[in-house]
Chains A and B, each alone.
Chain A
């Protein structure tokens, strides 16, 4: 600490370069913020964090103002509180008052702040701006009327994801956040990652909801309704239920889904194992036959769409494997349907995903066979919590149950898919075995674990030098791709996840997920890997059965038909 500053008549230590807000946060003084994003350059848009500088008599924004020696700051003087309250009242004067009908009811920063600042009277009235909902996207719904223009989504879309499909448009009171030429989100360069939803303080950005279709299927006696859930779901549901982060609720989740009325419950970690079988075989095939390298994973639908739009030159690098969601969907409507003597059209297949882009992926044309989608509906983690409530499931008073078999048993390698680096680690374990015929001595590949935006390492598999890179957060991926375009040849396999931290930080997760929570989820996945016995995909007995009974071998004829796909360059407004 370099000097002291005086906040609310108390001396507090501060470092050079620290903002007043940072000093306050360290010392348990809470001032409201709306536009503030940790570590981002402050925009100073919302003015909620103003504090009184007693020396100049001015109100200054604590998020942007550096602490200076001998400053005298009042954080909750009458003048400051009245200003904050007026700002909230101004926002409310141009906000549709439909909290009761809003998805974000009781989970809204604007609502919280108006309560905190004791807004109990409609003092400021005015004409409210009108705008249409944008329902065009398969994944994301925009409601500009609820937007308070804090700009967090714009920042995230541009700086974190490198997409920039939304920005401020118009001036003054007519300002809105929108897409180029006010076209629907579906024709913009949006990759459906949903990170904008994660930072939205209000209900202006939400996921497209599939409740009605799922309920209809559940009520249809002719439909066999099956459900799969992604590896990260069991470790990221906890916050939605009010439990502490990082708790694995796998068993409870199985029971809950059965209570809702799903006929079969499958684990996408199983199909993650299947993905590894195919993907590691594809990697070895490419290396041995001079295929396009580096091979890049294709599990993340956000990244896949990004590649199709922004870097189509990398399409040949993309693994032709479908994502685990789609592999599971395809196997359900073929192998499983055969076993149960069902037609594919008799099955309604639901996927629970940490991701909004999965909603888009499920309705891609490539993901259908004879006009029938492999996956019919996708629920995010957030939606699942609401869905369970709708069906009266008391998560705190049910007994854990097992997942259904077949298509339910998983190795821990498949489970690792939930965190950034997981696909890579799982693929390395199986590729090692394929090349050497032996298992690795230590399965843990620490170099690709963790929360950093980019992780790289070199592996020596029986003399075969393999360079691997793992990136999460699209903006980080762009930098790596630029290096590869610039001529880097030392990387053979790349894992790209669009969202920071991988699927545990997906756009369908709990709103307001902090870095600490992400780390807790990541730790939970690693704990599962440590404690369970089967740590490699190729040792998953149900995977072995599936190949023996149905698929024959990785990259075989059936695999090609069911588990692999193609990509195409997309023309969008950029």
Chain B
């Protein structure tokens, strides 16, 4: 920390103590020690209470913890933290006893709470619970035989810049954020640097937009910075809508002050005095925590008028989106904030020149903005040293699907996809074979085994027909049908298209219909229909090209990607669906052909009774048969047969 920075830290702390009427005057080291919990006076219990934790039962864990403490008359502090990233291990429960390292347990559902707390308070390792690791302290004692959490294979390869505090600190404590060096970078920039210097520094750092496109952030700011206007706006795009993406939610739930500081830095750089966080209404917890954090920041004076005597005004408004995927698109988002229907506008004019209410507007994504405080706190050079030549810094990915450990990982650019899936996330569960990973959600593409060793960078991903996107990684194993995957994304996109431009509105629907015709049972099996299906697949490519080239906004321009990319890498699967009328992964239910093994069938008649189309015939205690013409491949017979007599081919 530079001297200047330390000075700011001290003045911030004085301000904190003044604003929040703290009795004691603490020095910087004392304040830091207290709020980083280096020294604690009573036990602290941390519970992962982000949306993922709550989904896994953290609310009950929390209640049970409080009940235990009350029943046993234990004076301890219970802190609700955000998500540390290991969502599949939630609910996480950490305990820090005075003088001892903080220790973390996974999957602590309510019924395990008593046993865990009892053991730990008796300084014993609980038998039932699985310990994840411990956080080494400077002066506190270690737990024997417990590894450091950050040496866990899930965490060890990560570089945590944006997620630094997530799951560790109390997200709604501005003191804790300040104790860890927060807001000092902002105040230092306000006093030491002009706004154009801030733009230069960000450009030097090599930071690129994390929302998908990867445009250099500093360069983008300069467009707005250099456009004269009486009012400029900053918008934080937190309308995270990709299926399988939840990075922004976790960051806001786990460390909202980092976003606020990042926004304040960005606003100073571009000369904006007003900012919006456009966040989807489906994130109530994130909104709540952000609101609390904003209130704290205003009370402290890091938001508001004449911030710390700099003459700079800045404040942030939270604006909720109503759940339209397209409102993640910059211009549609602007329309939505203006109170209009969320439909994109043609560009140019670009928002940086004429955006919200016709004023220069910069829209950055949560992760981009949340990277800023650390870039300045640890220095531009440090940040430049992370990543590859053209893609600097780290990227947060949301891992989901057929992978052992799901959750959030933050890795330096240049890491390979194989490292992320196999080294960090533990590979594919149940001994299944890896098939593909969808990166970038409905706008992205799939990456196959052959490309797993590609380094994660904006350009390299584009080269193989995928894109960085916002950071969703959906892993698929051999049981996944790629035509079905393409259909899923096409269905999503055609429902979420705003309906404004023709290629996207009509084209995506037609592409979906072609995919449906491929995966559905043929209606009459006539040659004409086969011909139509065959024509359909040729049309997929043609339509996809026109939709990509002519659509109005990013949503349409990338809408055909999942189809085009699966067609590129898994063409054989499409062909099997079309020519053989078979789904190799047995996912497309309508293409399954059921037969009865006459040797195994006992004639119990259960299947015949359950068949919705009366396609199964046979007399009692004699083998039954399926009439293929009547069968709709629903699979009821397969599910109810106790003798494994139903075969799928």
Q: Chain A residues in contact with chain B, CB under 8 A? A: 42-47, 50, 58-59, 61, 64-66, 79, 82-83, 86-87, 90-91, 93-94, 123-127, 148-149, 151, 167-168, 170-175
Contact assessment for A83 and B550 in the assembled complex, using a CB-CB cutoff below 8 Å: yes
With both beta carbons as reference points, the residue of chain A lying nearest to B556 in the complex is identified as: A47
Complex formed: what's the CA distance from A124 to B346 in Å?
A: 27
B497 at the interface (CB under 8 A from A): yes
Contact assessment for A171 and B346 in the assembled complex, using a CB-CB cutoff below 8 Å: no
Contact assessment for B506 and A43 in the assembled complex, using a CB-CB cutoff below 8 Å: no
B281 at the interface (CB under 8 A from A): no
A97 to chain B, nearest CB (A): 15
Contact assessment for B496 and A172 in the assembled complex, using a CB-CB cutoff below 8 Å: yes
Contact assessment for A171 and B498 in the assembled complex, using a CB-CB cutoff below 8 Å: yes
With both beta carbons as reference points, the residue of chain B lying nearest to A44 in the complex is identified as: B346
Q: What residues on A are CB-neighbors of B552 within 8 Å?
A: 44-45, 47, 61
B559 to chain A, nearest CB (A): 11
Contact assessment for A87 and B546 in the assembled complex, using a CB-CB cutoff below 8 Å: yes
A437 to chain B, nearest CB (A): 56
Q: What residues on B are CB-neighbors of A127 within 8 Å?
A: 513
A356 to chain B, nearest CB (A): 27
Complex formed: what's the CA distance from A58 to B548 in Å?
A: 10
Partner pick for A94 among B341, B494, B495, B506, CB 8 A cutoff: B506
Q: Give the one of A59, A87, A94 with max B CB within 10 A.
A: A87
Complex formed: what's the CA distance from A91 to B546 in Å?
A: 14
Q: What residues on A are CB-neighbors of B507 within 8 Å?
A: 86, 90
Q: What residues on B are CB-neighbors of A149 within 8 Å?
A: 499-500, 502, 505
Contact assessment for A172 and B346 in the assembled complex, using a CB-CB cutoff below 8 Å: no
Partner pick for A124 among B324, B510, B551, CB 8 A cutoff: B510
Contact assessment for A126 and B510 in the assembled complex, using a CB-CB cutoff below 8 Å: yes
Complex formed: what's the CA distance from A86 to B546 in Å?
A: 7
Task: Give the number of residues in B that approach A within 8 Å (Cβ atoms).
Answer: 33
A447 to chain B, nearest CB (A): 34
B468 at the interface (CB under 8 A from A): no
Interface residues of B in 382-439 (CB under 8 A from A): none
Q: What residues on B are CB-neighbors of A148 within 8 Å?
A: 502
With both beta carbons as reference points, the residue of chain A lying nearest to B343 in the complex is identified as: A168
- Mark each residue of chain B from 478 to 496: 1 if its CB lies under 8 Å from any CB of chain A, else 0: 0000000000000000111
Contact assessment for A172 and B500 in the assembled complex, using a CB-CB cutoff below 8 Å: no
Complex formed: what's the CA distance from A148 to B502 in Å?
A: 8
Q: What residues on B are CB-neighbors of A94 within 8 Å?
A: 506, 509
Partner pick for A45 among B324, B500, B532, CB 8 A cutoff: B500
Contact assessment for A64 and B539 in the assembled complex, using a CB-CB cutoff below 8 Å: no
Contact assessment for B502 and A87 in the assembled complex, using a CB-CB cutoff below 8 Å: yes
Q: Knowing A82-B546, A86-B543, A126-B510, say if A173 contacts B348 (CB, 8 Å).
A: no
B107 at the interface (CB under 8 A from A): no
8 A-B interface contacts by CB (under 8 A):
A42-B346, A47-B502, A127-B513, A148-B502, A149-B500, A168-B499, A172-B505, A175-B505
Complex formed: what's the CA distance from A93 to B324 in Å?
A: 26
Q: What residues on B are CB-neighbors of A64 within 8 Å?
A: 346, 348
Complex formed: what's the CA distance from A164 to B546 in Å?
A: 33
Q: What residues on B are CB-neighbors of A125 within 8 Å?
A: 532
Q: What residues on A are CB-neighbors of B543 within 8 Å?
A: 86, 124
Q: Beyond the given A43-B345, A86-B542, could you list 16 further A-B residue pairs with CB under 8 A, ordered by the A residue number?
A: A42-B346, A44-B346, A64-B348, A65-B346, A65-B348, A82-B546, A87-B546, A90-B507, A123-B539, A125-B532, A126-B509, A126-B513, A171-B326, A171-B498, A172-B497, A173-B509
- Mark each residue of chain B from 342 to 358: 1 if its CB lies under 8 Å from any CB of chain A, else 0: 01011010000000000
Q: Knowing A172-B495, A173-B499, say if A59 contacts B550 (CB, 8 Å).
A: yes
Q: Which 6 residue pairs spanning A and B have beta carbons closest together? A: A175-B499, A44-B346, A64-B346, A90-B506, A173-B509, A172-B497
Q: What residues on A are CB-neighbors of B542 within 8 Å?
A: 86
Partner pick for A91 among B326, B346, B502, B539, CB 8 A cutoff: B502
Contact assessment for A47 and B505 in the assembled complex, using a CB-CB cutoff below 8 Å: no
A96 to chain B, nearest CB (A): 14
Complex formed: what's the CA distance from A314 to B529 in Å?
A: 65
B271 at the interface (CB under 8 A from A): no
Contact assessment for A174 and B503 in the assembled complex, using a CB-CB cutoff below 8 Å: no
A118 to chain B, nearest CB (A): 16
Q: Knowing A87-B546, A87-B550, say if A172 contacts B513 (CB, 8 Å).
A: no
Partner pick for A172 among B494, B502, B503, CB 8 A cutoff: B494
- Mark each residue of chain B from 526 to 543: 1 if its CB lies under 8 Å from any CB of chain A, else 0: 000000100000010011
B372 to chain A, nearest CB (A): 31
A551 to chain B, nearest CB (A): 53
Q: What residues on A are CB-neighbors of B495 within 8 Å?
A: 171-172
Q: Knowing A171-B497, A173-B497, say if A45 contacts B502 (CB, 8 Å).
A: yes
Contact assessment for A47 and B539 in the assembled complex, using a CB-CB cutoff below 8 Å: no
Complex formed: what's the CA distance from A151 to B346 in Å?
A: 14
